[in-house]
Amino acid sequence: MANLHIFGDSFSVDWAAYYNRRDSKDGLPGQNLYYRLLKRKPLHFAEIIQKEFKLNKIFYHAKSASDNYRVMESIGKRINSIKKDDYVCIGWSDITRYRIIKDGFWVTIFANGHTAPPQYGDDLEKAFVTQSWNRDTGMRMINKKVSDRDTKLTIREIGNWQNILLKSLPENTIFWSPFDRDQNRYPYTIIPNQFETILDATDGVIDDGHASEKGHEEIGKYLVNIFKNNPYKKQLL
């Protein structure tokens, strides 16, 4: 039987990963709190896809706080384990995220200057300042680098990656993103952020913009339709 492979960032991570997670000074992430509030594992959009197409297993390869380079790296590491009849769902992250090397590891930088792993934050801000350290100057430089990435070049880069992946992955491969942008500019499907969030579901008790259980169900139905009317197959002709 065919399996389902899920790639992406925190919007695609298995709920179980959040239940077992322990954050430090920043406390537990919203998805973890939501899981505990429900006192059960919430439905994930991957389960909607699995049920619709009668797939065998779900393999969650997504990682929280991923940039798109990390998503591609994850696909490359696992491509040999993906069978010809499998289904592959790739959720691209925000295109403004990027990464640099720090202490021998890749570190993702976000638009707000936060980093993953978060402990590198201050050091990374200093890395953008060539002379005397000034936090405001460092943040302005980080924000400029991030804003410079929302361009046609970055969009074209992902389009080129997709061309490679469509030649390498099974026929049933789709690309999507939960980040709300102009669909006409992007080579992948933008799912409008009209799905219910954890913030919505808890009436503001948990301040988190990720999908709630109902939101996952809404995203799952949307992704099923993309698989059924797969626009990416046409690119293979």
Task: Compute the CA torsion angle 223, 42, 212, 10 (nearest 10 deg).
Answer: -70
**DSSP string covering 112-160, please?**
TS-EESGGGHHHHHHHT-SSS--HHHHHHHHHHHHHTTSSHHHHHHHHH
| pTM of the complete model | 0.85
C-alpha 134/C-alpha 104 separation (Å) is 25
Show pLDDT as tens, one digit a residue, over the chain (237 residues).
Answer: 999 999 999 999 998 877 665 554 445 678 888 988 898 889 999 999 999 999 999 999 999 889 999 999 999 999 999 999 999 999 999 888 888 887 788 888 877 666 776 666 655 555 544 444 344 545 555 555 555 676 788 888 999 999 999 999 999 999 999 886 666 677 788 776 679 999 999 999 998 889 999 999 999 999 999 999 988 875 654
**What are the structural domains, with CATH classification, of the chain?**
4-95+152-236 (3.40.50), 97-149 (no CATH)
Q: With contact defined as beta carbons under 8 Å apart, do 46 and 89 qualify?
A: yes
Bridge partners of residue 115, in order along the sequence: 109
Please provide the distance, in angstroms rounded to a whole number, between the alpha carbons at the two ends of the chain. Answer: 26
Q: Which amino acid is at 64?
A: S
> CA quadruple 219, 224, 230, 232: dihedral positive or negative?
positive
